[in-house]
Each structure stands twice: as C-alpha cells, then as structure tokens.
Structure 1
Amino acid sequence: MIRIILFSLFFTLAGCQSAYYSAWEKLGVEKRDILADRVESAKSAQEEAQEQFTDALERLSTLISFHGGELQDTYEALKDQYESSKSSAERVGARIDSIEDVAEALFDEWSTELEQYNNESLRRKSEQQLHQTQRRYQRLLATMRKAEASMNPVLATLQDNVLYLKHNLNASAVGALQGEFENIKKDIEQLIKEMNNSIAQSDEFISLIKQN
C-alpha cells in the first residue's frame, strides 16, 4: 500500500495518471489492484472521519455544559475540532475522487479488451463479470457519496457555532447554542450510519474485485 501511495503522489504531481497506471502494470500491478487499494484507503478515511466527528460532538457537549473556567480554551478546542473535521471531510472526498479515476480507466480498458477475444464463450463470461463489477461499483460509489454528503450539515453547524462564539465568547452565548446540540447530534448519528453502510459495501466490493 505504501508503494502505491508513493507512486500515486509522484505521478499526481507529474499530472499523468496514464503514466502512473502504465508504470504499475510493468511491475505486475493491475488497475483492479489499484482500485481495491483506493477503496480500502477511502474506507480508512471514513473510519477516521467517524472518530473525528464523534470527538467534535464530545467537545461541543463539553462547551455547552460550561460552568466556569477558561471559556477561551474551550472555544479554541472546539475550533480545532471543526478544522480537523473539515480536513477529514476533504480527505474522504479526495479519496473517493481517486477511486472514480481508476475505476473509469479500468472499465474503459476492460470494455476495449472484450473485442480482442477469439473465444465467444470466454468473452461473454468476461462481459458478464464487467457488468456485475460496474453495477456493484456504482452502488458503492453512490453510497460513498451519500456518506460524504452527510458530513456537510455537521460541518455547517460546527462552523456556525465557532463563528458565533468567536464574537460572543460568554456564558449566555454558550447557552444560546444548547438548542443546537440535539440537531447536530442527530446529524452525526446519521453520518455514522451512512459511513457504516459505505464501509460495509467497501469490504464487499474489495472481495469482489479480488475474486475477478
């Protein structure tokens, strides 16, 4: 996995994905292997995002339960949690984008190679596998994008809370945010549910790819 990450970084900087895939194929690593690796990477990013958003909720809970002490420190901690949550969301999105890139290249190659078969029976079997993989991939991608979108309302609420407290750093302002807590809690619970679904489908898709 580390090798693939390093190669990916190099060729992304070079701006040439086709050269990246060609380089790996020369080493015996096919596009399907890269796709499986990127799905695994996106799965890990979603797991990390789950933990991050849960931490942010805990920090917000601490803030609205404020009963004295250094309010500035509590606010700064919430601000840090928002920034970390935003970074986690961006990382998830970037990894899903990378999945789309290699999947498109893989399916284009697979479709083109169907025309190269001499044995019609083998061609039909390969075509069936292609369509099955595409259907599972599209379902996985939709689930991943849905999970990604579920982060948006949470980020929006966290941002609003941080901005409000920035200019109203007092106990009454903290009290005004208490009504927001249940809403963001529900949003985070929904986020975790969507990501659990995406993570489960990621495992299933990785197994399918490795069987082909």
Structure 2
Amino acid sequence: MNHVIRLLSLPVLLMLTACTTMYLEGLEKVGIPKRDVMVYRVEKARDTQQETKEQFKSALEQFTAATNFQGGDLEATYKKLNDAYEASAGKAEEVKSRIADIESVSEALFTEWKQEITQYSNASLRQNSQKKLDATQVHYRQLIAAMKQAEAKIEPILTVFHDQVMYLKHNLNARAIASLKGELGNIKSDVSALVSSMEKSINEANAFISTMENK
C-alpha cells in the first residue's frame, strides 16, 4: 500500500518541482534572483515563527485562566480555548509551509551555484566561489536544523491542547477543569521549551539573513 502511495505521489512531486522551477525562472527574468527569493522566504519564516511563539504564549494564558474558573458559563470557556487551539494549529501549518518554501528555493539555488562554479576559467575565482558556497551551505543547514527542532516541539503541545479542549467540550463541569489543572504544569513546561527553541531559530534566521546580505 505504501508502495502504491509513493508511486502515485511521484507525478505530483515532479509537477510541484517543475512548477517551483518555472516560478523561480520567471522571477529571475524580471530581475529577482534565487538568492533574493531565499532571503525573503527566510524573513517570512522568521516572522511566522515570531507570530507562532506569541500565539502559543497567548494560548497558554487562555488555558491558565480556564483553570481558575469559579463558576459561570463553561461553554464560553470552551469556545475561548477552542479558538486558541485552532489559531495555534493554523500557525503550526504556516510554520511547516514556510520551512518547505525555504527548502525548495535553497535546493534550486545551491544546484545552480554548483553548476556555475564549473564555468569559471579563473581558478582563484572558482576556489573563492566554492568557499562561499560551502560556508553558505553550512550556515543554511544550521538554520534549517534550528527551524525543524522548533517545529518538532509544536505538535506535542497541539495534541495536549486538542485533548483538553475536547474533554472540556464533552464534560462541561468541574471534572474537565480538574483535568486541565493536572496538565497545566506540563503545558507550561512544553510551551516554555517551544518559545526558547523558536527564539533560537529566529536568531539563526537573522544571522543567516545578515550573512546573505553581506556576501
């Protein structure tokens, strides 16, 4: 079955690759090189991570406030937590998409760079360009690793958010609040780890952007 899925996915992947190539070539024709596209996409990913960090902090505040429920409309509390969960899930998808965008343009940029290096007749210029490519790839790998490490911390938190929201929906009573209180310590710890990882990734993005703009 997995074999069939992979075979069916292959034409789609090839089509997406072709579309990406055509899109990047189209941008180059109007004076926007792959390097600039890459910097732009790293900037967008960085900004999305900043927004995601703030969204999860806001969601944590909502979940914390819910544990202090003293009576009233639990349905309204559920709706607030569900909105916080859905907003967080939306940001998670955006982070994933931004990383994929960077990976697609980086592959095209580095492939082109490698090919163009072979066209140098001047050995010194060829060696210098190769050193810059090597350094850029090392920095890029650090960036992507940091982004993916931060992204990996999102899903476990979303799973807990979802479970607690669903439990509250099905049990609009003190039992649901008690369940949330029991999980709050873990949620706080996980969100704190996510924020720290996101900040590291954001710093890596800023450093990468600075490096690319100064080359």
Q: TM-score normalised to the size of structure 1?
A: 0.92
Runs of at least 5 residues in structure 1 that lack an aligned partner in the other structure: 1-11
2: CA distance, partners of 1:145 / 1:177: 28
Partner of residue 67, structure 2 = 64
CA distance in 1, matches of 2:166, 2:175: 15
Query: Residue 146 of structure 1 aligns with which residue?
Result: 149
The whole-number CA distance in structure 2 between the counterparts of 1:93 and 1:167 is: 30
Q: Does 1:110 align with 2:108?
A: no
Q: What amino acid is aligned across from residue 210 of structure 2 in structure 1?
A: S
Aligned counterparts of 1:184 and 1:24: Cα–Cα separation in 2: 43
* Matched residue type, 2:27: W
Following superposition, the deviation at residue 150 of structure 1 comes to 0.9
Q: 1:87 maps to what in 2?
A: 90
Cα deviation for residue 106 of structure 1 reads 0.2
Amino acid across the alignment from 1:103: S
Task: Give RMSD over aligned pairs.
Answer: 1.5
Alignment of 1:43-192 (within 5 A): 43-192=46-195
TM-score (norm 2): 0.91
- How far, CA to CA, are the matches of 1:156 and 1:17 in structure 2? 32
Distance across 1 between alignment mates of 2:21 and 2:181? 52
Could you tell me how far 1:109 is from its partner in structure 2?
A: 0.2
Q: Distance in 2 between matches of 1:144 and 1:184?
A: 21
**Contact 2:168/2:177 (CA < 8 Å) preserved in 1?**
yes
In structure 1, how many angstroms separate the alpha carbons of the residues matched to 2:71 and 2:169? 18
Tell which deviates more after alignment, 21-30 or 99-108. 21-30
Distance across 1 between alignment mates of 2:153 and 2:172: 29
The Cα of 1:23 is off from its aligned counterpart by 1.3
Listed one character per residue, the Cα deviations across residues 86-130 of structure 1 (whole Å, up to 9, x for unaligned) are 000000000000000000000000000111001000000000000
The answer for the alignment partner of 1:21 in structure 2 is 24
How many residues align? The count is 201
Determine if contact 2:164/2:179 at 8 Å carries over to the other structure.
no
Identity percentage over the alignment?
Answer: 46
Aligned twin of 2:45: 42
Match of 1:200 in 2: 203
